[in-house]
Every structure is written in structure tokens, then in C-alpha cells.
Amino acid sequence: MSNDPVILRADQISRTYPGSVPVHALKPCSLTLQKGTFTAVVGKSGSGKSTLLRILGTLDPSDTGTLTIEGREICRLGDAALSRFRRRRIGFIHQDYDLFPEYTAYENAVFPLHLDSKTEDRKKTEALFEQLGLTDCLNKFPHEMSGGEQQRVAIARALAASPALILADEPTGNLDAANAERVAGILSSLVDTENVTVVMVTHDASLAAAADRVIRISNGVLEA
């Protein structure tokens, strides 16, 4: 692992969705993220937050510029290598939890390990579940859990492979205030406990306030 304090460096990345009227979801922008920081990305609906997150998470390619994560230039990687990188170094948390309905909470959480043909560590996973207050949910299916529980399972899944970077797209958007605060707190604590870098997209100013850094985006343009 490199000693570079910068975990992510994006240089003039942009994204345009084609169509009868092209949509410039993200205009050319540059961004660097320091290791072990909690960054909030705020902006109105349709401002390009999710697009930025997907590019940073290597889910969508950037139309321009370069993206480097942990010293690796992403655009040079093929799909297989990119996928491998993604499942080992990046964790995703979505607004609508994105759990597999046919797997239990435990199975959802260890899924990335199986994709990587790694041996799951049940004790570690159970400990994580306990940490997240999900002890009773180990063998439950998503439809048997509340929204907050599902989101916490999603967090557990994102942490399963001990990633370096966690990207959360409006993780509290579907939660009530109490659960939203709890989830935000968990994400915030991950920076210290797991030594991960967290980027969270939100439109909730109070949650953004808890971040180390706030990046504002408006109409696809990153504001300083």
C-alpha cells in the first residue's frame, strides 16, 4: 500500500449522457480525496452528485480526463481487472439498499467475498453485525427487515472486503430521522475504526455538517 495521502485523484473528469438532447450530467472537474477522510457531496436533485459518485466508484467511465485510485490509473484497467479492483477496494451503499432479495442478510453481507473466492470469516461478520445492531437479522431476508436494518446490512456488505473507499449515495434518503442519524454516525465512525475513506452524497445539510469536507455540486459543476 502506498504512503501517498491521496487515495483518489480525478483530473478533468466529465460525463455526458447521449440522447436527442445530450445531458451534461457532469462537466469537466477535478477532485482529490485524502485517505481516511469523510467527504460529503451536496447538491440539488439532478445536479450530478450520483454521476460523480458512479465515476469515482468506477461504475461509469468518464468521458474525459483521468481517474487514479490508490495510485492505479483506472482508465487503463480492463473490465476484469476493474471489477476485481472494485470488489476489493471499493464499497457501495445505495439509497434503496440494493440488497439481493433472495439472500439472507448474512449472505448479502459476505457476497463480495464469494465473488472473490475468499473464505468468509463468520465470526468477523457476526461481530460486524453486532456492531451494526443486526445480530437478530443474520438469517433474515431483506423483505423481513426494516429499512434501517437493510441499510445497515448494505453497510456491512460494503465493508466485507475491507475496502479502502466507501461510496454512499444518499444512504439516509429512505430512512426516518432516527435511523438516518444512526447510519450517518456509523459511516462517520468507519473513518476512524476501519481507516476507510468515505464519500457520501446527501442533500441533508445536517448530515453534511458531520463530514470533514463538503463538496458542493451544481448543474454538473463542482464548486470549490
Partner 1 sequence: MKTKNGWGMFLLGLRRRKKETRRLRLLTALSVFFLAFTLLLQDNMGAYQTALNAETYGAWFVRGDAGVFENHPYLRSQGQVLRGSLMFSGRTSAEILTGERASDEMSYDDYLAAYLDGDEDVYPRFQDQHLGARTTLDFIGSFPEGFAEENRVSLLSGRWPEADDEIVMTIPALEHYGYSMTLGQTVSFYLQRGYASPFTYLVDPSEISDFMFPVSYRLVGIMEDYLQVWDAGTTGELPAAVVTESALKKQDMLIFSRSFFAIGDAYKTGDYAAFASALADAVRADGSNGREVTDLAPMSVGDRSPNTRYYALNRSGYETAFWGDAAVFHAVTALLVVMSAAVSAYLYASYLSRRRTGFLRMREIGLSVRESWKMAAFECVFSVLPTALITLLVSYAMSLLAVLGISKAAGLPFFYRFTAATPGLILLLFLLVTLCALLVAVPVFSGRRVFIKRRGLSRAAVRSLRRRAKRTEKRKNMGVVRETLLRQSKTRPVQTLAPRVLTVFVSVVVLMGVTQISDAYGAYRVLAEAPAMTAYAEGTVQEWTLWVPVYPYEDARGQTRDTRKHSVVAEGFTSGHVVSEASLDRLRQIPGVQGLSCVFRDVTHVLSWQGKETNPVFLSCRAALAKRYGPEDLDLSRPEISALYARVEPLLYSIVCFEDDEAAEAYLSAADPGVYDAAAFCEGRQALMLLDETMGQLSPGNENAPAPDVGLSPGDAVEVQTASGALTLTLAGVCRNTDRVSTGMAALLVSPAFVRLLAEADGRVFGCNTVGLQLDPRADLIGTAGLVTPLLTGEGMRYVNRAEAVENARRAFSRTVFAYGSFALILASLGLLVLNAAAGEERRRGEASAKRLSRLGLESRRYTRGVLLREGKESLFVLPGLPLSVLGAGVLADPASIRQFPFFTAAAAAAALTLTLLVFLCRALGALRPETDEPPKKEV
Q: Which stretches of the chain bind partner 1, using CB under 8 A?
A: 17-19, 23, 54, 57, 59-61, 79-80, 82-84, 86-88, 92, 98-103, 106-107, 111-112, 114-117, 119-120, 122, 142-148, 157, 161, 174-176, 179
Helix (H) or strand (E) holding 186: helix 177-193
Closest approach, Cβ 28 to partner 1, in A, equals 19
Write down the least CB distance from residue 3 to partner 1, Å: 26
Residue 78 CA, chain-centre distance (Å), reads 21
Q: Based on CB atoms, which residue is closest to partner 1, 101 or 224?
A: 101
Q: Considering beta carbons, is residue 1 or 101 the nearer one to partner 1?
A: 101
Cβ proximity of 124 and 109 under 8 Å:
no
- CB nearer to partner 1: give 28 or 103: 103
Cα 104 to chain centroid distance, Å, stands at 21
**CA 42 to the chain's CA centroid:** 15
State the minimum distance, in angstroms, from the CB of residue 80 to partner 1: 5
Which of residues 32 and 135 has its CB atom nearest to partner 1 in the complex?
Answer: 135
Given a contact cutoff of 8 angstroms between Cβ atoms, the answer to whether 212 and 20 are in contact is no
Smallest distance from the beta carbon of 194 to partner 1, in angstroms? 17
Q: How near is the Cβ of 158 to partner 1 at its closest, in Å?
A: 8
Closest to partner 1 by CB, 84 vs 214, is 84
Largest CA distance in the chain: 53
Helices (H), 37-160: 49-56, 79-89, 105-115, 122-131, 147-159
